[in-house]
Amino acid sequence: MTCGWLQDQVVLITGGGSGLGLAIVERFMQEGARLAVLERSFEKCESLVRRFGDAVVAVQGNVILPEDNARAVDATIARFGRLDCFIGNAAIWDHGASLMDTDAASLAAGFDELFAVNVKGYLLGAKAAATELVKSEGSMIFTMSNSSFYPGGGGPLYTSSKHATAGLVRQLAYELAPKVRVNGIGPCGMNTDLRGPQALGQAGRRIMDSRSPEAIKTILPLQFFPSPEDFVGPFVLLASRQNNRALSGVMIQADAGLGIRGIRHVAGGLSL
Ligand SMILES: NC(=O)c1ccc[n+]([C@@H]2O[C@H](COP(=O)([O-])OP(=O)(O)OC[C@H]3O[C@@H](n4cnc5c(N)ncnc54)[C@H](O)[C@@H]3O)[C@@H](O)[C@H]2O)c1
């Protein structure tokens, strides 16, 4: 019998009800892991339970609340007895709301709502999981974005929130060594249920309402429109004990080559 890369590992992920998080749940189970999910949507929690039964612990809650993060860790330990990996993944986007086109009151309220989910949510998840991860000498992984490295993948709210996750990865990797490995993965555009802040009137708007598959394909040097499943391999690698002993503080740019896009080509030659 062959063992998966995550055989018997216990993993807690936030926002595992759809999109990238759900793809991670599916693949991690194939690799032998046992999963717990902290997810805001009741419907998505119900769907996880319908689909996976007792194999997945679905905790309905909000990542911006310390008590909900603590409840998710407690439920994981109660069911599986340990925690090997925490994945901070739940986030919201800003549909590219720009500085000039967004009024100051909306920027202020949008900042509070978006940073609460994208940055405070990761911090509080890490805080809730840290003691168990020190015990198991496990790992943390944070879902970043191309917006953790480059402008233009969102507006100033999303881009600065995703840049902040780079600081979190570095600081936590520093603080939690030698017991816990802490890493990040920055995917690029894909078709998911990613929404925006209520404060910007975007709670019902999905990412692909503002982006087309063709546009995403065109801007990526590797020239394909990714699906969430295209990004899960690096998560498996970073979570795996036997395949990742040495990586900590590492941020994998899983963005189909955006970093080598280089100087923009214009008709007739290079623009310099
Ligand atoms: N979709 C993209 O194009 C894209 C690109 C780069 C990075 N990402 C990142 O991928 C990650 C996953 O997003 P996705 O695209 O799969 O979107 P998604 O909306 O499909 O998944 C995010 C999940 O998080 C949940 N969630 C949102 N706010 C929450 C909260 N406060 N508490 C608990 N759960 C909450 C949502 O209900 C949803 O199920 C995010 O970190 C996002 O920034 C997405």
* Residue ranges making up the domain that contains 168: 10-258
- Tell me what pLDDT residue 210 has: 86
- Tell me what pLDDT residue 143 has: 99
Q: Is 90 left (phi over 0), alpha (psi -120 to 50) or beta?
A: beta
**Which uninterrupted H or E stretch holds 165?**
helix 156-176
Would 271 be classed as within a structural domain?
no
**Alpha-carbon distance 209 to 151, whole Å?**
20
- Tell me what pLDDT residue 16 has: 98
Nearest atom (ligand 1) to Cα of 17: 39
**Which uninterrupted H or E stretch holds 167?**
helix 156-176
Would 267 be classed as within a structural domain?
no
**269: pLDDT strictly greater than 80:** no
C-alpha closest to that of 126 among 93, 80, 90: 90
**Alpha-carbon distance 36 to 89, whole Å?**
13
| Residue position matching structure tokens 């995550």 | 6
Kindly report the CATH number assigned to the domain that includes residue 25.
3.40.50.720
**90: pLDDT strictly greater than 70:** yes
Q: Is the CB of 114 under 6 A from ligand 1?
A: no
Q: What digits encode the pLDDT tens for the residues 41-81?
A: 999 999 999 999 999 999 999 999 999 999 999 999 999 99
CA of 90 to the centre of ligand 1 (A): 4
Per-residue pLDDT averaged across 99-114, rounded? 98
SS3 of residue 272 by DSSP: coil
Most informative mutation of 20, 37, 56, 225 for ligand 1 (most atoms within 8 A of CB): 20
Number of domains comprising the chain: 1
- Tell me what pLDDT residue 1 has: 55
- Tell me what pLDDT residue 98 has: 97
- Tell me what pLDDT residue 53 has: 93
**Alpha-carbon distance 109 to 100, whole Å?**
16
- Tell me what pLDDT residue 119 has: 99
Q: Is the CB of 97 under 6 A from ligand 1?
A: no
Q: What digits encode the pLDDT tens for the residues 135-192?
A: 999 999 999 999 999 999 999 999 999 999 999 999 999 999 999 999 999 999 999 9
- Tell me what pLDDT residue 3 has: 86
Per-residue pLDDT averaged across 119-123, rounded? 99
Would 132 be classed as within a structural domain?
yes
Q: What digits encode the pLDDT tens for the residues 227-264?
A: 999 999 999 999 999 999 999 999 999 999 999 987 76
Would 197 be classed as within a structural domain?
yes
Q: What digits encode the pLDDT tens for the residues 6-46?
A: 999 999 999 999 999 999 999 999 999 999 999 999 999 99
Would 272 be classed as within a structural domain?
no
Would 268 be classed as within a structural domain?
no
Would 54 be classed as within a structural domain?
yes
Would 56 be classed as within a structural domain?
yes
- Tell me what pLDDT residue 220 has: 94
